């Protein structure tokens, strides 16, 4: 959808490359989810070592995967928001930052960002109990193990929204 908004502003010679960019973006987005899964599991595993966690990385990876279930809901909401918002915004090659600013000021995009933060908190809740059982930690230690990286991510997300 974003590519079609941009493609209409491109010169005729560059338009075929937009499709290649869309495919590369889709594949990259899918791969990024798996990379994030490994990254989160690795960080949770590493932090839980400080609390003398017991259990395999494989088990931690498995339980961390369950925490990505809310991401599916977030993707569906994000798709619906983009389908609604993108057709209403004009893209200009002269000032692509104006497109981004207009997009980020849209109330639906802002609501979607807030929903994304709430879904991340839901994921964190799943991860807390997953790490607790995967690494045999107390609830407090699992809360710290998950809370530190998720808290940093949320601070980053909120600062980008502001």
State pLDDT tens for residues 76-86: 998 888 888 87
Q: How confident is the model at residue 123 (pLDDT cuts 50, 70, 90)?
A: very high
- Per-residue pLDDT tens digits for 40-73: 999 999 999 999 999 999 999 999 999 999 999 9
| Domains of the chain by residue range | 2-161
CA dist list (Å): 51 to 24, 136, 137, 144: 40, 10, 7, 10
- Per-residue pLDDT tens digits for 112-122: 888 999 999 99
Closest residue by Cα to residue 135 from 26, 69, 47, 33: 47
Q: What is the pLDDT of residue 110?
A: 86
- Alpha helices by DSSP H, listed for the chain, are 2-7, 15-50, 57-66, 69-85, 96-105, 107-135, 139-161
Full-model pTM? 0.81
- Could you tell me the sign of the dihedral formed by the alpha carbons of 126, 127, 133, 137, in that order? negative
């Amino acid at each position: 959808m974003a590519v079609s908004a941009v493609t209409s502003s491109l010169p005729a010679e560059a338009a075929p490359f937009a499709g290649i960019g869309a495919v590369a973006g889709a594949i990259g987005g899918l791969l990024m989810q798996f990379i994030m899964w490994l990254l989160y599991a690795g960080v949770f595993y590493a932090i839980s070592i400080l609390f003398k966690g017991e259990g395999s990385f494989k088990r931690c990876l498995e339980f961390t995967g369950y925490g990505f279930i809310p991401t599916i809901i977030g993707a569906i909401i994000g798709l619906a928001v983009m389908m609604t918002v993108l057709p209403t915004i004009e893209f200009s090659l002269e000032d692509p930052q104006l497109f981004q600013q207009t997009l980020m000021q849209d109330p639906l995009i802002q609501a979607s960002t807030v929903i994304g933060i709430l879904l991340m908190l839901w994921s964190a809740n799943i991860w807390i109990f997953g790490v607790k059982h995967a690494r045999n930690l107390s609830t407090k230690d699992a809360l710290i193990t998950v809370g530190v990286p998720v808290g940093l991510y949320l601070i980053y997300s909120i600062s980008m929204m502001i």
